[in-house]
Chain A
Amino acid sequence: MTSAPSKLYADDVSLLVVTLDTNPFFWSTFPFPFADFLSQVLAFLNSILLLGQLNQVIVIATGCNSCGYVFDSTSDKNHGSTTGTMPALYSNLLHNLDQFVARDQQLASPHTPGTVPSSLLSGSLSMALCYIQRAFRSGPMPPQPRILCLQGATDGPEQYVAIMNAIFSAQHSVVPIDSCYIGSNNSAFLQQASYITGGIYYKPPQLDGLYQYLSTVFATDLHSRAFLRLPKSVGVDFRASCFCHKQTIDMGYVCSVCLSIFCEHHDKCSTCGSVFGQAQLDASAADRKRKA
């Protein structure tokens, strides 16, 4: 897997799609309050809009049961953003976010207590890509799109396939996925996403100065990235999830026909239906073990 070549851009007009983790289960257990987080992010979004009149910012909220657009700087409702009157941005976004969180809560399904349900990152990535595809078709000079994932909750292994598909389609359309992971450990999904699409993965060591990290690292437009030394990830966790139990595994079985991954031996591939051979179980299993 090689990281995607980046396109060369002549100017710095950018379309930034931000996915915002609103997972209540994560934020209620996290020491840094959501309100502080949000105020720093809002200032960051403002500064992106401040940088150029043609810049666009889209915010997609990532809940744990649904995802939704909460802000679009191009929509007519908040013409304020084009003039730079920020209160319009704030009030609009906060209003939509409130509505979204309430709606997301209604959809909640019971989960096993003691575990933190993961956020629907795959959903918001897909929505971001859909929006970008629409922007590509909008005219002869589409802005340069990039996605920024502000993620806190841990990865949901059950979303592995969907997320990887989103990553590959982003790679295909040359859209870098930047990720700013604020949770405690590293996120393997986001590391892979940024690595494969040529984006930046960064985990701010201190959340008090989040704005400074965001403006220093993630405010860099694609044009300027060709000239700057930006943080590179030291190591990328390439581990995959198995298709049968949705667990992250180091070693497993791979279907030779469709490349589905399983944590234990099956007689038949559950994805494509190929029948696996029975003999030399040990030898073939050793062959097909996969460690990325």
Chain B
Amino acid sequence: MPEVRIIAKNFMDMVASMQAMKLDKLYENGFICEAILRSLPPLAKKYVIQMLHIDVPVAAKLLEEWVLPDGVSKHRVAIDRLVQLRVFLEAVDRKNEKTYKVNPTFQRSLQKLLVQGGTLPRESMPSNITVRLPTLENLEAYALEQWECFLLQLISPSQVEKPLNISSSLMKVFQRRILSHRDKEAPKLTESGFQFLLMDTNAQLWYIIREYISNSEERGVDAAELISFMLELSFHVIGEAYSINTLTDFQRNIINDLADLGLVKLQQGRKGSWFIPTKLATNLSMSLSDSSSRKQGFVVVETNFRVYAYSTSKLHCEILRLFSRVEYQLPNLIVGAITKESLYNAFENGITADQIVSFLQQNAHPRVAERVPSVPENVTDQQIRLWEADLNRVEMTEAHYYDEFPSRDVFEGACDCAREWNGLLWEDSKKMHMVVKTEAHHHVREFLRRQK
């Protein structure tokens, strides 16, 4: 069975896969270097800071000397990542030893950022021009509302009262992997769609942005330029107004899309219009890192399999519905129960037990989050995982059945041939029956044909 997985946090892989020339050009911008630096694993960050002011190549051995035996794997991951992103340039010196050197462009940009500080390409507008700026709370509420509205429109367009004006072609791009469109049927969530819903907001945001960027080439937009603008945007100050006029035409097109996603709020005054970055935008660079998201949860799971979710959001209700039976809804509380049926439903949709458990743990209400474990063990280990294991008792393999062999020699030859291709599932040498995996089927068939 092919495993469909959304790897949401590998935006950096996308950056890493860019051509060296383009990458070096990106690194001319200090903010991009900063965003890339922040996305690195902790050990890699430390190496960069440590080597930032060293101009000569450093022997790989010298770096390894710092590492304790426990950290060897982490060290390797860190170095691999750095080389992949061309932050470290690998070389071999005269003594045939591996050396590392910080990418000179990256180094220069970051040094400049450290010593002189970075200046954004645009300054925030003075407060006498901008009027009725939203408060930070309002802005955050606006961003979340916009994002949830977007998500709801993404998964069930019919439920949305006032649809966003995202072009339908763009929406289709986002839905490509999340919804499956069968002819004449209502669109259904795919396996990856369910998984998408269970991710945290930052991961979801990156998934969408990634789709947006990977689709950019089709729309005739330069991906590198798009990435650099996104990363730059994440360093703007939340709640400050920036004039639209400072943007290029290219960026102006993008900012409209971003406004629909809730990354920025657009406002218009008497003297021009401006955009205000929200928390979602400034989180862009932060959410690149693997550090666990730090937000307040809302779910309490009791040992009797009841789920209490302190939330007013329709989206949360939809998500809970994926794997539990929602029993009743109060204005600020959703009460449900995890049942065998509801879980089987979820498993059928391709959600795994681990995903459900990690969703419950990540979104645990602060009251229970302090406890260890935050979700009762009898719910997680004994039931959710057990029920999943229940479903996996039978494994299906496509296979072909052979019988009526002319002689024992042919039968044994066929068995050996199947074994050779690692495709023999079952044999009965007395009655001369065998079952061969589909992958090995044509090899065995060839073999038998040759025997004739």
Residues of A within 8 A of B (CB): 10-13, 43, 46-47, 50-54, 79, 82-90, 140-141, 211-212, 215-216, 219-221, 223-224, 226-230
Contact = CB atoms under 8 A, between A and B. Distances in A.
B308 to A, nearest CB: 18
Interface string B322-361: 0000000000000000000000000000000000000000
A264 B43 CA distance: 52
Interface in B277-316: 282, 285-286, 289-292, 294, 296
Contacts of A79: 237
Contact of B68 (A86, A215, A229): A229
Nearest to A86: B117
Given A52-B289, A140-B370, A227-B71, A12 B45 contact: yes
B53 to A, nearest CB: 6
A219 B369 contact: no
B265 interface: no
A210 to B, nearest CB: 11
Max chain B Cβ within 10 angstroms of own Cβ: one of A87, A216, A221: A216
Nearest to A216: B50
A223 B53 CA distance: 23
Interface stretch (B34-42, B88-96, B215-223): B34-42
Contacts of B115: 43, 46, 86
A211 B53 contact: yes
B97 interface: no
B106 to A, nearest CB: 13
Contacts, number: 116
Contact of A11 (B46, B291, B366): B291
B38 A53 contact: yes
A87 B116 CA distance: 7
A219 B117 contact: no
A140 B366 contact: yes
Given A53-B286, A141-B294, A229-B67, A47 B118 contact: no
B70 interface: yes
A84 B117 contact: yes
A125 to B, nearest CB: 26
Given A47-B52, A212-B53, 17 more contacts: A11-B290, A46-B115, A47-B114, A50-B38, A53-B282, A54-B286, A54-B291, A83-B120, A83-B235, A83-B236, A86-B113, A87-B117, A88-B117, A140-B366, A215-B49, A219-B46, A221-B46
A3 B70 CA distance: 20
B19 interface: no
Nearest to A88: B117
A215 B42 contact: no
Given A79-B237, A141-B294, A212-B53, A227 B43 contact: yes
Contacts of B53: 211-212, 215
Contact of A52 (B38, B74, B296): B38
A50 B66 contact: no
Interface string B20-60: 00000000000100100110001101100110111000000
A244 B68 CA distance: 45
**Nearest 4 pairs between A and B by C-beta?**
A227-B71, A86-B117, A12-B42, A11-B291
A229 B366 CA distance: 36
B210 interface: no
Contact of A85 (B49, B110, B120): B120
A12 B115 CA distance: 23
21 contacts: A12-B42, A13-B294, A46-B114, A52-B38, A54-B286, A82-B282, A83-B120, A84-B113, A85-B118, A86-B116, A87-B117, A140-B296, A140-B369, A211-B53, A212-B54, A215-B50, A227-B67, A227-B71, A227-B74, A228-B66, A229-B65
Nearest to A87: B117
Interface of B: 31, 34, 37-38, 42-43, 45-46, 49-50, 52-54, 65-68, 70-71, 74-75, 110, 113-120, 235-237, 282, 285-286, 289-292, 294, 296, 366, 369-370
Contact of A219 (B49, B289, B296): B49
B68 A228 contact: yes
Contacts of B117: 46, 84-90
A105 B46 CA distance: 38
- A84, A220, A227: most-surrounded residue (chain B CB, <10 A): A227
B46 A229 contact: no
Contacts of B37: 50-51
Contacts of B43: 224, 227-228
A13 B71 CA distance: 19
Contacts of B52: 47, 215
A84 B66 CA distance: 30
Given A11-B291, A54-B294, A223 B42 contact: yes
A89 to B, nearest CB: 8
Given A53-B38, A224-B46, A226-B71, A12 B66 contact: no
Contacts of A13: 291, 294
A232 to B, nearest CB: 12
B348 to A, nearest CB: 33
A226 B66 CA distance: 11
A226 B70 CA distance: 8
A140 B362 CA distance: 13
Listed residue (B45, B65, B75, B292) with the most chain A CB atoms within 10 angstroms of its CB: B45
A84 B235 contact: yes
Specify which of B285, B286, B294 lies most central, judged by the most chain A CB atoms within 10 Å of its CB.
Answer: B294
A206 to B, nearest CB: 14
A85 B116 CA distance: 9
Given A86-B116, A211-B53, A53 B66 contact: no
Contacts of B237: 79, 82-83
Nearest to B297: A140
A267 B370 CA distance: 52
Contacts of B65: 229
A286 B42 CA distance: 52
Contacts of B54: 212
A89 B291 CA distance: 25
Contacts of B118: 84-86
A227 B31 contact: no
Nearest to B38: A52
Given A227-B67, A229-B67, A51 B38 contact: yes
